[in-house]
Structure 1
Amino acid sequence: MKFQIIPVTPFQQNCTLMWDENTNKAAVVDPGGDISKISDALKQRGLTLEKVFVTHGHLDHCGGAKKLAEEFDVPIEGPHKDDAYLLEQLGSEQSRMWGLPAGEPFTPTRWLDQGDEVTVGNETLKVFHCPGHSPGHIIFFHAPSKVAISGDVLFAGSVGRTDLPKGSFTQLSKSIKENMYTLGDDVQFIPGHGPVSSIGYERKGNAFVKG
């Protein structure tokens, strides 16, 4: 599995393009906006978009999900159903809160939960429910590549905000310790914002949640 980070929106959110090298089938994780940039990356690499994945319902992560899915006629998978209220607010309340262009509310083709699996081409990723930043936040883990996509759960040297409505540091800390920190120290993760880091580095040195 190959991965490319495509920063989108004024928040420079790490939208991730992933693809199966054997089939050239691809998925896009968290298309918060700038859909033309994502489409251009797909075309430049000669990839066929198969699915859209969403980690959680905040506007900078999924504001463009419906538009991208409709443009390529593909399903949306994720987040967990506990973020349904956020997806309903994409066109109004979240736009006012974040000062970003309004997104299009949607209901995903498939809600995801702890223990589910998703596929891209012939590759399989595991799903972990990691509430705390938002109640329905999930992460994706591709074990063969040792790469996780963490959304706004864990960052290089930091963690996701928990001061937003329905946020919980207690839940976030539990999600990180019981899900992310158990993936393996040699696992690299792509956060929702900022640079890539490793589980081992954060487990030992993250000042907010230590393993």
Structure 2
Amino acid sequence: MPLRYHTLPVTPFHQNCSIVWCDATLDAAVIDPGGEVPRLLAEVARLGLTLKAIWLTHAHIDHAGGAGQLAREQGLPIIGPHPGDQFWITALPQQSAMFGFPPAEMFAPTRWLADGDTVQIGQETLQVRHCPGHTPGHVVFHAESARRCFVGDVLFAGSIGRTDFPGGDHDTLIRSINERLWPMGDDTVFIPGHGPESSFGEERRTNPFVGGRWG
């Protein structure tokens, strides 16, 4: 598999931060560095990778809390999420105080993302899909050739993302799953923001929130 990844749970919320890299170049991106930046950098070094970018699915504190520090210390671009999450980025200091996280550094994304965009690391290109519902600006990163999708908090093994935070909407989330995730194929394995991996086919068959549905 040309695109490789390693997932490292970080923060007290055990958020799945994924290090993704191109096997040909060993260039890497980190998806959703919610915190524990020294630990993340140590893991990148252990894997022998060169970190090139930060990709964000959305701007909740457990996903984006370490992005500003990591970008500043390593001179990295922050790519994503969709502009719909600007208010969550603005609120990062309040989020960190509310949940007892270390103070989160403010940042401005180097590049916002929109549905249909692509991101690249080394020789690998991933598709971006805008999947609102958990947050208005949530995106996912689809590595079609590897049959993998990094979905943040849109979908979990046996569950779906919360929609009771500001900007969340249950019907919008279900529509995102039906219209944006399921067409990627039942054999696509997804890496959620929390908990174990699963496949879209498994969730369509068994997930009580969305099982059996198709867009």
Equivalent position of 2:16 in the other structure: 14
User: Cα offset for 1:81?
Assistant: 0.3
The 1-side partners of 2:5 and 2:160 are apart by 22
SS in 1 for 2:87: helix
For structure 1, the residue ranges without an aligned partner over 5 or more in a row are none
For structure 2, the residue ranges without an aligned partner over 5 or more in a row are none
User: Cα offset for 1:169?
Assistant: 0.3
Percent identity over the alignment is: 50
In the superposition, the TM-score normalised over structure 2's length comes to 0.96
The 1-side partners of 2:136 and 2:192 are apart by 18
Contact conserved, 2:65 with 2:96, CA < 8 A, in 1? no
The 2-side partners of 1:101 and 1:50 are apart by 24
Deviation larger for 62-71 or 188-197: 62-71
The 1-side partners of 2:197 and 2:71 are apart by 26
The 2-side partners of 1:61 and 1:29 are apart by 8
The 2-side partners of 1:142 and 1:19 are apart by 11
Q: Does 1:94 align with 2:95?
A: yes
SS in 1 for 2:171: helix
**After superposition, where does 1:1-211 map in structure 2 within 5 Å?**
1-91=3-93, 93-210=94-211, 211=213
Aligned residue pairs: how many?
210
The 1-side partners of 2:67 and 2:149 are apart by 20
The 1-side partners of 2:133 and 2:100 are apart by 23
Kindly provide the CA deviation profile for residues 33-67 of structure 1, in whole angstroms up to 9, marking residues without a partner as x: 00011101111111000110000010000000011
AA of the residue aligned to 2:84: D
SS in 1 for 2:146: coil
User: Cα offset for 1:101?
Assistant: 2.2
SS in 1 for 2:149: strand
The 2-side partners of 1:206 and 1:157 are apart by 5
SS in 1 for 2:92: coil
SS in 2 for 1:94: helix
Aligned-pair Cα RMSD in Å = 0.8
User: Cα offset for 1:203?
Assistant: 1.2
AA of the residue aligned to 1:112: L
The 1-side partners of 2:139 and 2:100 are apart by 24
User: Cα offset for 1:69?
Assistant: 1.4
User: Cα offset for 1:198?
Assistant: 0.3
SS in 2 for 1:179: helix
